[in-house]
């Protein structure tokens, strides 16, 4: 049943932070009212969440669903970024990835996200001269199964080089991707032979296609590599009219505080949102620094101090770029507390409301009038939800129940 066909829904006995235990009325997928629990007459359709904590649904702003869940078949012995890239290419050349198994893994990764409480995801998908748009086609097939359950934005992740004499295959793959249908244009300026030229070229192509940009930016601890500055300058100079996101921005964290502030102001002026991706950064970065090992996260404080919209994502999940990951943004949020030094509340915003805003989605912040995308979780507080991440959850998309999980434990001991 399409969400728009459902009329009135009630969520009963929800623990809403600063409101206590309340009932929610939902109409046409949006929250219309919070009322004292038990006060309203029965609704035709209602869900009792038994006093569980009700939170805004989470959003995953940076995933690689075409690569997800391959860690056991694509080893990356070096544990570094180039090791992961080379391992992926070698496996692809051996025919490890088929259309069918890519659809299957992407579907499984989407299911994991939804059951955890994610109702929107942005995924990068490899588009190269060698594989063309085959992974995009697989992603589309998987996406079809999640209509009205999970909003999926697809970024064409372009291979290098995108400019120069060897770029023909990649640029024609990008044209095919645009023709096929994508939501955003992506790539890695810091891996390009001429980052400035590549940024200029990609902004031009994206503007002509009417698409936003989401680049992997400066995924390196090398402080000399700072293409984020160039990206911000070009966005400002050209007045690029569509949304721009910069994912990773690792090397910004290696600059002096003065430089971090300067670049953050430019990024803010350009209206670029930044996605910090602690899991993959902590896994891939820093192996060459055995003394005083950097965390590899971007300059979160400088960005926030300069009013840049910062969201947090998981990036890779159980693949050669990140061996771990539970597809649970509460895991990312916990890392934002531990490794990113954010408060519990700010960390949760980064994986929910900030992520939605940066993805250009309508608000689902648990306020009257907002979209009723929500997750109820069996935890007494936000901090407890983040620390324990219990898998007793109910997930709602536009007021419709889309996933239920119940975790049961029994302790066997004599009294
Ligand atoms: Zn990525």
How many Å lie between the centroid of ligand 1 and the Cα of residue 33? 39
Rounded-to-integer distance, Cα 348 and Cα 295, Å? 20
Q: Say what the pLDDT of residue 4 is.
A: 42
How far is ligand 1, taken at its centre, from the CA of residue 315, in Å?
Answer: 5
**What is the CA(62)–ligand 1 centre distance, in A?**
6
* CA 224 / ligand 1 centre spacing (Å): 21
Ligand 1: centre distance to CA 68 (Å)? 11
How far, in Å, from the CA of 246 to the mean position of ligand 1? 10
CA of 229 from ligand 1 middle (Å) equals 19
Q: Which pLDDT score, from 0 to 100, does residue 241 have?
A: 98
Alpha-carbon distance of 397 to 50, in angstroms, equals 19
Q: What is the pLDDT of residue 43?
A: 85
Q: How far apart are the C-alpha atoms of 43 and 236, rounded to whole Å?
A: 51
| DSSP letter string, 340-409 | S---HHHHHHHTTHHHHHHTTPPP-SSSTTSB--EEEES-SSHHHHHHH--S-EEEEETTEEEEEE----
Superfamily of domain 3-57+365-405: Urease, subunit C, domain 1 (2.30.40.10)
**pLDDT computed for residue 1 by the predictor:** 37
pLDDT value, residue 42: 85
Domain ranges of the chain: 3-57+365-405, 58-358
Q: Which residues contact 367 (CB under 8 A, 6 or more apart)?
A: 31
Q: How far is the CA of 216 from the centre of ligand 1 (A)?
A: 6
Q: What is the pLDDT of residue 154?
A: 98
Task: Label residue 121 exposed, middle or buried (CB < 10 Å: 0-12, 13-18, 19+).
Answer: buried
Candidates 344, 404, 353; CA nearest to 61 is 353
Beta bridge partners of 123: 63, 154
Task: Determine the distance separating the centroid of ligand 1 and the alpha carbon of 149, expressed in angstroms.
Answer: 23
Does domain 58-358 fall under CATH 3.20.20.450? My reply is: no
Q: 214 CA to middle of ligand 1, Å?
A: 10
247 CA → ligand 1 middle, Å: 7
Helix, strand or coil for residue 153? strand
Question: What is the model's pTM?
Answer: 0.96
Q: How many CB atoms lie within 10 A of CB 269?
A: 15
Per-residue pLDDT of the chain (415 residues; tens, 9 = 90+): 344 445 799 999 999 999 999 999 999 999 999 999 998 888 889 999 999 999 999 999 999 999 999 999 999 999 999 999 999 989 988 999 999 999 999 999 999 999 999 999 999 999 999 999 999 999 999 999 999 999 999 999 999 999 999 999 999 999 999 999 999 999 999 999 999 999 999 999 999 999 999 999 999 999 999 999 999 999 999 999 999 999 999 999 999 999 999 999 999 999 999 999 999 999 999 999 999 999 999 999 999 999 999 999 999 999 999 999 999 999 999 999 999 999 999 999 999 999 999 999 999 999 999 999 999 999 999 999 999 999 999 999 999 999 999 999 999 998 6
Q: How far is the CA of 292 from the centre of ligand 1 (A)?
A: 25
Which residues touch 50 (CB under 8 Å, ≥6 apart)?
13, 378
In this structure, the chain runs to a length of 415
Identify the pLDDT of residue 182: 98
First to last CA, the chain: 50
pLDDT at 339: 97
CA of residue 47 to ligand 1 center, whole Å: 37
């Amino acid at each position: 049943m399409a969400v728009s066909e459902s009329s009135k829904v009630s969520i009963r006995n929800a623990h809403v932070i600063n409101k206590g235990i309340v009932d929610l009325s939902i109409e046409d997928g949006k929250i219309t009212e919070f009322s004292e629990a038990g006060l309203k007459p029965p609704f035709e359709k209602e869900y009792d969440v038994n006093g569980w904590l009700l939170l805004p649904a989470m959003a995953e702003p940076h995933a690689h669903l075409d690569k997800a869940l391959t860690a056991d078949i694509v080893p990356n012995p070096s544990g570094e970024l180039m090791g992961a890239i080379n391992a992926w290419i070698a496996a692809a050349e051996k025919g490890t990835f088929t259309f069918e198994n890519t659809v299957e893994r992407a579907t499984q990764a989407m299911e994991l996200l939804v059951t955890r409480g994610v109702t929107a995801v942005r995924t990068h998908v490899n588009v190269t001269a060698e594989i063309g748009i085959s992974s995009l086609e697989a992603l589309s097939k998987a996406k079809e199964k999640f209509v009205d359950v999970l909003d999926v934005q697809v970024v064409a992740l372009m291979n290098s080089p995108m400019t120069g004499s060897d770029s023909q295959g990649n640029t024609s793959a990008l044209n095919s991707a645009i023709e096929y249908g994508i939501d955003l244009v992506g790539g890695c300026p810091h891996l390009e032979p001429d980052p400035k030229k590549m940024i200029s070229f990609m902004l031009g192509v994206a503007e002509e296609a009417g698409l936003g940009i989401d680049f992997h930016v400066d995924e390196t601890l090398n402080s000399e590599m700072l293409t984020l500055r160039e990206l911000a300058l070009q966005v400002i100079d050209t007045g690029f009219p569509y949304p721009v996101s910069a994912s990773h921005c690792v090397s910004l964290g290696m600059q002096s505080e003065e430089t971090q502030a300067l670049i953050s102001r430019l990024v803010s002026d350009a209206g670029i949102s930044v996605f910090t991706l602690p899991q993959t950064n902590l896994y891939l970065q820093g192996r060459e620094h055995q003394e005083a090992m950097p965390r590899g996260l971007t300059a979160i404080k400088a960005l926030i101090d300069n009013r840049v919209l910062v969201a947090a994502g998981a990036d890779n999940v159980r693949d050669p770029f990140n061996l771990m990951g539970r597809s649970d943004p509460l895991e990312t949020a916990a890392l934002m507390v531990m490794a990113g030094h954010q408060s519990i509340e700010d960390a949760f915003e980064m994986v929910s409301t900030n992520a939605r805003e940066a993805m250009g989605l309508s608000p689902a912040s648990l306020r009257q009038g907002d979209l009723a995308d929500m997750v109820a979780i069996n935890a007494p507080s936000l901090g407890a939800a983040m620390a324990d991440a219990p898998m007793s959850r109910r997930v709602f998309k536009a007021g419709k129940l889309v996933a239920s999980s119940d975790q049961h434990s029994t302790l066997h001991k004599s009294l």
